[in-house]
Every structure is written in structure tokens, then in C-alpha cells.
Chains A and B, each alone.
Chain A
Amino acid sequence: MNGTAMNSMQRTLTTLGQQEPDRVPLFLLTTMHGAKELDLSIEEYFSRAEHVIEGQLLLLKKYRRDCLYPFFHASIETEAWGGTTIFLPDGPPLCGAPVIARPEQIDNLQPPAVMQSPGLCRVLATIGGLKAQVQDTVPIIGVAISPFSLPVMQMGFDSYIELIYEQPERFERLMQANIAFSVEWANAQLAAGATAICYFDPVSSTTNIPRDLYLKTGQQVAKRALAQIKGPTATHMASGRCLPIMAEIAETGTAVVGVSVLEDLAKLKAAAKQRVSLLGNLNGIEMRRWTPEQAEAEVKRAIAKAGRGGGFLLGDNHGEIPWQVPDDVLLAISAAVERWGRYPLDWVDDWSDGGG
């Protein structure tokens, strides 16, 4: 199969089936870069579905990516809960003040209706517009923040950690509301045309909570939520570590795990044991100052460590390329995937880490 040219959908599905496609799929998750393409501010860009549709299609062609990524910003979900968004000129939009100022508010918390949120409807319109353009040739990746990680934006990380440890009943009440919302939101995106849902769950990372706590909390929430989402999911740790819980993440029913540059990709691939595919793990922060040569070396390193046998999508390690990463680096990554990502990866036999 790998001698035949594939479209992005075929390439992606083949690798998710733990087989080698024609080349490593490139999941370069650029969001704000669409605003640069259209010469708009980030706030203007995300104010209309038409902008994001046009931006995503331009980025698809420019970087020869294998997916469309109609992710606006995480705070668009908290807008549905009554929150606000703070736009920056040069970075991802941020959440305003927490919508849960006191834990007692959780007692009467009701999940908002997706279709009553203008921001979420804008995302759905974007997904629908992209689907009309590409049909089933390119995967369209929707995003839902996990019910377990959403409270960082709803109430602040410090208050949320205290809630998890000190108020288990209120924690469960919050999870019930959040699961209802996240499932409705994910399914609405799938109905609009998304191929899969990226389930961002950084709080479950062992960077943020210990493994035993994950098994009692984040993993249980993921099992409950993913079972109700009517399509494939990719669980993303947004730069956090996950090697000690890789097998347990696989048990939640997810198809892909987004992994961190803090962990060795070869070890992660071995731990995945073909039960889940990996997405990662280029360093998006360092990428800002890479030369094209460094970009090529990093692409080679990632492919050498995780490419063989399929089950691997090349991307950054956070799930969003920073605004500051220049075009020449992104184009160099794209060119390197074309050059070094073609299967079979015979060159890997002669590759050594550090040697490039």
C-alpha cells in the first residue's frame, strides 16, 4: 500500500490502523497563523467562520498538512458557561475571570446548551464550511476540552486542585455537568462534519496529577465521556507527560495520544503497543528560533523514533503552534516530512540520535 500515493484521509486512516501509509501524516496544528495569511488581527480572524474557513484552507495548501484544524481557542467553551475571552495581539486568546468564583456555585451548576452559544455555533459553521470544501479527503479535527480539564478555566487551577483533593462530592457534581456539556459539544462538531475530536486533557498528565489520582479521576471521567462521543477521539496532553499512564489512557477508548517533548518518543511508541497512535512531539516553544536545518533534524529525529510501522502522526507537542513561529520553519518542517517521511523508512537504519 505504501507505494501508492494517498490523500490525507487515506494516509491518516492507514497510520491509525497501525500500518505504514505512503508517508508520515503531517498534523501541523496551526490556528492563529490563519490570521497572518488573511492579514487580520487574531480577534478579527476568529470573529467570523468565513475567515477561519479561508485561513485553514490556505494553511492546508501552504504547509501541505494532512488535517484541517478548526480550533478557535479554548476559552470559546467557557464563553458558553458565561465567561469572557481576552484577545492578545500575538498569542492565543485567554479566559477572563473564572465563572465559578466559589465552590458552592457548583451545587446549582447547569451545563449550557451548545446551540445557544454564538461562539460554539461559529465553530460549527466553520466545520460545516470546511467539510463542504474537502468532503472526505482531509480529516477535520474538532476540539473539546475534557470535562476533567475544563475546570482550570472555569475556576482557576489552584482552586480546582483543592476541589479535587478536598471536596470529592462537589468534584463529582462538577464532572457530571461538564461531561454533559463536553459530550454534547463533541457530538455537535461530529454532526457538523468533524472527522474526529481532539480531547484536550492536560490535567490528567502526570506532570499535573499523580498516576494514582488519575486512575480515580481523569481516567474515569474520560471513560464516561468518550463512551458517549459518537466518533474517534485523540487525547492530547498539551505538553504534559504521560508515559506512566499510556496503557491507562489507551483503556479509555481513545485512538491517538498527543505526547510531550519531555518524554522520549521511542519509549512512548513502545508503551503505546499499537493500541493507540501517537501525535507529536516537536517542541513548539523552541521552534520559534529554529533554523530550517534544525527543523529538518528534529523532523528526522521524531520520524526515526516513532515512524516505523505506522501509528504515528507528526505534529508539535502542545496542540497549537505559537504565533511567533516563522513561516520558514513551518515550511522547512513540511519539506522535511516530504523528504524523510516517505515509507519505507529505510534511512532510519543508519540514523543515530545526535547525528541528525
Chain B
Amino acid sequence: MEELIKPFRAALESLDRIAADNVFRQALERLSPIAAVEQLVVPALEQVGAAWEDGRVALSQVYMSGRFCEELVEKVLPRSDPDRKHQPRSAIVVLSDYHTLGKRIVYSMMRAAGYELFDYGRMDVDELVARALADKISVLLISVLLLPSALKVRAVSDQLKAAGAPVKILVGGAPFLFDAQLWRDVGADAMGRSAADAVNIVHGWMGEMP
């Protein structure tokens, strides 16, 4: 499968939907849909994410790659497919501000990796805490663009802890990239430097959870 990752990634980065589709089909000739996702799509998206972190790939390419992959995976692993990963029970949200691109990218990457998760859209602190508790969420992915929004993660974390809810909080977005200490300051459990990083972190947590 290694030999397919490189052309698949190249097709994604050059926004060649047809070439990406062809490589994905080749993978499906050898593997089950979920195995093709895990052995081709996820590693390719990880590489795209890593390339964005060090400036070799642009956000527009990351966004379009995630969208392509989400569409490819949706065709072979529809929402109702039992191979889709519904655990840990997860949700994604834009906290307080109105910039949704980051959340959209992470949502696409998570779904392209076979995960199902709630999309809460944009919420403020109290609404988010109430909804996460009602939905019995185990993993909460919070995306922000602005510093004041990032600082509000502290209130989310404190309220969830006060309610006795064992929710792991994964944060991402520009303020966390510019201040590597910020995610700890606001009480998050981890910070995703890219969307693919977020998928990896959730995958790791999945293995730790009962």
C-alpha cells in the first residue's frame, strides 16, 4: 500500500479529483473499505497535514484534500456502515467566534478517517457545556481563530469538570499554533497542530478508553 500513498497524496495536493479517485479504486481492489481508509487515506492526509505545519502545503490544499477524501470515503463507507467508528462519542464545535474553516477541515478529516461525530456548529460556553453533557460526549474537539475564544476553553473545561463529566478536550486553531503553552493554560487535554494531528490524537484516546 506504501506505493499508492505517494501518488494519492500528490493527486490530493494538486486537486486532481480523478487521479485521487483512481488510486483509491486501486486500493479497494486489494483491501476492504475500512482497511483502504486506514492504510491509504489516513496516512496520506497525515502527510498533507505535516506538510502544512512546516509550510510546504497551503491551507486551501488541506481543505480541498479533506473534502475529496470525505467524498471518497462516504461512497464506500456510508454513515450507517457498521465499520464506521462511532466511538469514542465525539463532537466538534467552533467556540464563540464565527470562523468555521478550521472546524470544517477537521470534520472532513475525521469523517475521511472513518469517524462519525456530532457537528455542533458554532456555540457559546454555556450552550456547549449543556449539549456535551446531554449527548454524553467523551471527546470534544474545539476550534477557534481568535485569542478571546481560545481563552474561553477554560470555562468549558471547568464547567465540564464541575459536572463530573470525563470529557477529553482537544483544541486547535491559530492562537494555539502561535502560543505553544496556551492549550495547557486553558485546561485542554491536547492540542492538534493540524487536522490530521487531531485525528491521530483521537485515535490514541480511543485506545485508552474503556
Q: A residues engaging B (CB < 8 A)?
A: 86, 88, 90-92, 94-96, 156-158, 161-162, 164-165, 206-210, 213, 239, 241, 243-244, 261-263, 283-286, 288-289, 322-324
In the complex, how many residues of chain B place their beta carbon closer than 8 angstroms to a beta carbon of chain A?
Answer: 27
Within the assembled complex, what's the spacing in Å between the Cα atoms of A161 and B15? 12
Contact of A161 among B60, B100, B147, B149 (CB under 8 A): B60
B60 touches A286 (CB 8 A): no
B104 touches A209 (CB 8 A): no
1/0 contact trace for B134-148 toward A, CB 8 Å?
000000000000111
1/0 contact trace for B144-166 toward A, CB 8 Å?
00111101000000000000000
Within the assembled complex, what's the spacing in Å between the Cα atoms of A284 and B149? 15
1/0 contact trace for B175-193 toward A, CB 8 Å?
1001101100100000000
A262 touches B55 (CB 8 A): yes
A207 touches B179 (CB 8 A): no
Return A264 CB to nearest CB of chain B, in Å: 12
Q: Which residues of A contact B58 (CB under 8 A)?
A: 206-210, 213
Q: Which residues of B contact A241 (CB under 8 A)?
A: 55
Within the assembled complex, what's the spacing in Å between the Cα atoms of A208 and B62? 9
A207 touches B178 (CB 8 A): no
Contact residues of B: prevailing secondary structure: helix
Return A248 CB to nearest CB of chain B, in Å: 15
A158 touches B146 (CB 8 A): no
19 intermolecular pairs with C-beta atoms under 8 Å apart:
A91-B149, A95-B98, A96-B98, A157-B99, A162-B64, A164-B60, A165-B15, A210-B61, A213-B60, A241-B55, A261-B178, A283-B178, A285-B178, A285-B182, A289-B179, A323-B148, A324-B147, A324-B148, A324-B151
Within the assembled complex, what's the spacing in Å between the Cα atoms of A157 and B185? 29
* Closest chain A residue to B151, Cβ basis: A324
B104 touches A158 (CB 8 A): yes
Q: B residues engaging A (CB < 8 A)?
A: 15, 55, 57-61, 63-64, 97-101, 104, 146-149, 151, 174-175, 178-179, 181-182, 185
Return B51 CB to nearest CB of chain A, in Å: 11
Within the assembled complex, what's the spacing in Å between the Cα atoms of A90 and B155? 15
Within the assembled complex, what's the spacing in Å between the Cα atoms of A206 and B151? 27
B55 touches A207 (CB 8 A): yes
B55 touches A285 (CB 8 A): no
B147 touches A288 (CB 8 A): yes
Return A36 CB to nearest CB of chain B, in Å: 14
Within the assembled complex, what's the spacing in Å between the Cα atoms of A244 and B55? 10
Q: Which residues of B contact A286 (CB under 8 A)?
A: 178-179
B15 touches A92 (CB 8 A): no
B64 touches A92 (CB 8 A): no
Q: Which residues of B contact A162 (CB under 8 A)?
A: 64
A283 touches B55 (CB 8 A): no
Q: Which residues of A contact B185 (CB under 8 A)?
A: 289
* Closest chain B residue to A98, Cβ basis: B98
* Closest chain B residue to A243, Cβ basis: B55
Contact of A92 among B61, B146, B179 (CB under 8 A): B146
Within the assembled complex, what's the spacing in Å between the Cα atoms of A244 and B148? 31
Return A219 CB to nearest CB of chain B, in Å: 14
Within the assembled complex, what's the spacing in Å between the Cα atoms of A161 and B58? 11
* Closest chain B residue to A90, Cβ basis: B148
Within the assembled complex, what's the spacing in Å between the Cα atoms of A262 and B97? 23
Within the assembled complex, what's the spacing in Å between the Cα atoms of A280 and B27? 47
